[in-house]
Amino acid sequence: MKKNKTGFFGLHADPSVKVRIIFAILPFLILMLIYLIASDIRHKSNPRDKLLPTVSEIGKALKKSAFTEDRRTGEYLMWKDTFSSLKRIVAGVLLSASLGFLMGLNMGLLRGVRSLSLPFVIFIANIPPLAVLPILFIAFGVGEMGKIMLIFMGTFPLITRDIYLAVKKIPREMIVKALTLGASHPGVAYRIICPQVLPRLIDTVRLSLGSAWLFLIASEAIAADSGLGYRIFLVRRYLSMDVIILYVAWITLLAFIADFGLRKWVALRYPWYNPGR
């Protein structure tokens, strides 16, 4: 019998659905297994180990953060942190998305606007946002505004350039056709091009959420009194890995839900949209 050269990882591999599901779960299982074994080993030698908390310790941290009122403030810490962080990231991303969309749309369509703003936008895109964080804190204060502006600085240039490229790609024929059908000049931009580029905006925002979370956590780590990033960096000093791992998992879950939700929203609401980036 000829040896089948097509293994699971070969060029012609075509795993069945069952195999695909198993492969998907496999890395998670392996990671959890390694963690549990390592945690167990450490706890056998030191029952009060804080570096690799057991599952029950993490469970206790969850109960304490999410379902027990804090002794000092009377709030449920985890939910308060979540709400603070989400407030900031949503505000920052919405600001980025709306201004970035407007700028990108006009830059892509109007050569005059493009020549005025493109070099400047590229310049801003190359400023490392974390490097200007102190400037932002000085200019906007260490409250909510400073953090929102950091998220804005981190995501606005990317969104602007992406939308600009998408609008630039729209063939001239379509614009001429819109004019021959009676569109005014603003009409071409906001009634013909805008609806076409909107799903692209949502996609780009979805992909820039990773950066947005990064800047949120960074700004909360430096100057905040509530928030998921704040809490992580606070309990770092007490080596509370149980709280840290809990919060990291929670943030990952939130980010995943956002990503998944936005992807599904685009697929449902814009069935004609074909990314082809």
Rounded to a whole number of angstroms, the minimum distance from the CB of residue 166 to other proteins is 13
Determine if 177 is a binding residue for other proteins (CB under 8 A): yes
| 148 in Cβ contact with 88 (< 8 Å) | yes
- Nearest CB to other proteins, comparing residues 37 and 181: 181
- Nearest CB to other proteins, comparing residues 54 and 196: 196
| 149 in Cβ contact with 133 (< 8 Å) | no
Q: Which of 94, 125, 158, 179 binds other proteins (CB under 8 A)?
A: 179
Q: What is the DSSP letter of 8?
A: T
Give the N- to C-terminal CA distance of the chain in Å, as an integer: 45
- Nearest CB to other proteins, comparing residues 9 and 272: 272
Which amino acid is residue 32, in one-letter code? M
Kindly give, in sequence order, each residue whose CB lies less than 8 Å from that of residue 140, ignoring residues fewer than 6 positions away.
Answer: 146, 149
Q: Which of 171, 237, 268, 275 binds other proteins (CB under 8 A)?
A: 171
- Nearest CB to other proteins, comparing residues 135 and 176: 176
Which amino acid is residue 37, in one-letter code? I
Determine if 26 is a binding residue for other proteins (CB under 8 A): no
Burial class (CB in 10 A: 0-12, 13-18, 19+), 26: exposed
Nearest to residue 152, comparing CAs of 97, 203, 204? 97
Q: Which of 191, 236, 264, 277 binds other proteins (CB under 8 A)?
A: 191
Based on C-alpha coordinates, what's the Rg of the chain?
A: 24
Determine if 112 is a binding residue for other proteins (CB under 8 A): no
Rounded to a whole number of angstroms, the minimum distance from the CB of residue 192 to other proteins is 6
Determine if 176 is a binding residue for other proteins (CB under 8 A): yes
Q: Which residues bind other proteins (CB under 8 A)?
A: 171-174, 176-183, 187, 191-192, 195-196, 270-274
